[in-house]
Amino acid sequence: MSQSAPDPTVSTHDLAALLDWYVSAGVDCAVGEAPVDWLDGPPRAPGAGFVWPERQAGMPVQPGAEGAAPVEPSQRHGSGHDAGLGEPAQAARAVVQRRPAPNARDSVRAPPDRFATGAPDAAETAARRLAREAQDMATLVGSLNAFDGCGLKATAKSTCVFRGAEQARVMIIGEAPGRDEDLEGRPFVGRAGQLLDRMLAAIDLDETSVHITNVVYWRPPGNRTPTPQETQICRPFLERQVELVAPEVVLLLGGAAAKAIFDTQEGIMRLRGKWRNIEIGSHQVRAMATLHPAYLLRTPAAKRLAWRDLLTIKTAVQEKK
């Protein structure tokens, strides 16, 4: 950010309010390679140069997208935090006038998915085409790096595709990358990932014998749960990934992953520890859900349930040898 003399009209209270607003919006780290002064020059939102697939396909461009007529502030959907996110300069001025409520973090909602409407869904159609064309894992990774149909990519630093072996008998699917994963570009490398590694070691598995991924490939802002639309857009890539890995056993970590793969609304406590024969893409496989390592870090008493599930996985792997 350019150096300039401090503005005497901005108090420390105003700066604290601005930082408080950033935290409420889910900002907890800088993801750019170089600092950017968003207040220097005309208002410009991050990702302003992105061209939506609707425009590339000749479909009508939604208001606010690149190339569309400017939308007046009074016409924007939402208010408060949501209305200011598209105009960084205006948001910064507004936040120093009205300090967020103490529970503002709880009120931050997922932004509406631009591809949630339309038949057929433009982003999912593009994802299915790219996924079908991927003949190996390297091509799939390249396709995901080039794919811009999921809104999560605009706020993430890295695309986290997988960790472990490209082909494995055991495939592990979690929810979404977190802060550490976004910084490193690999899934399950933070505290939850370290616990997962210890859990796998307890049943004689390690990174060389498993394939680890998530139902979405980019970190949701503020580590929120991915929306059904975001999960559905990533689903074609996940299906192709399962086909390429060709696992004998799939272990689902946490309720979000279990609900997405099993297509159910049941809670994780009802889903865990039970085998299901499922078809993902063209691959048929046995799958089981268990508790997410992040939950186990918060609730150590639940580790006994996860241990039972791990022993079941160990028995299944040994029987297949």
Per-residue pLDDT of the chain (321 residues; tens, 9 = 90+): 445 555 666 778 777 877 777 776 666 665 666 766 656 666 555 555 555 555 555 655 444 444 444 443 333 333 333 333 444 444 444 443 444 444 433 333 444 444 433 433 789 999 999 999 999 999 999 999 999 999 999 999 999 999 999 999 999 999 999 999 999 999 999 999 999 999 999 999 999 999 999 999 999 999 999 999 999 999 999 999 999 999 999 999 999 999 999 999 999 999 999 999 999 989 999 999 999 999 999 999 999 999 999 999 999 999 876
- Containing H/E element for 210? strand 210-214
Contact 242, 167 (CB under 8 A): no
Cα torsion through 301, 194, 233, 45, rounded to 10: 110
Q: What is the pTM of this model?
A: 0.66
Residue 104: predicted pLDDT: 38
Contact 126, 147 (CB under 8 A): yes
Cis check: omega of the bond before 120, within 30 degrees of 0: yes
**Residue 175: left (phi > 0), alpha (psi -120 to 50), or beta?**
alpha
Residue 19: predicted pLDDT: 79
Domain with CATH 3.40.470.10 in the chain: 122-320
The CATH number given to 122-320 is 3.40.470.10
Residue 52: predicted pLDDT: 55
H-assigned helices in 96-164: 104-107, 122-133, 137-146
Contact 169, 247 (CB under 8 A): yes
Which amino acid is it at 99? R
Residue 105: predicted pLDDT: 38
Q: Give the number of residues written for the chain.
A: 321
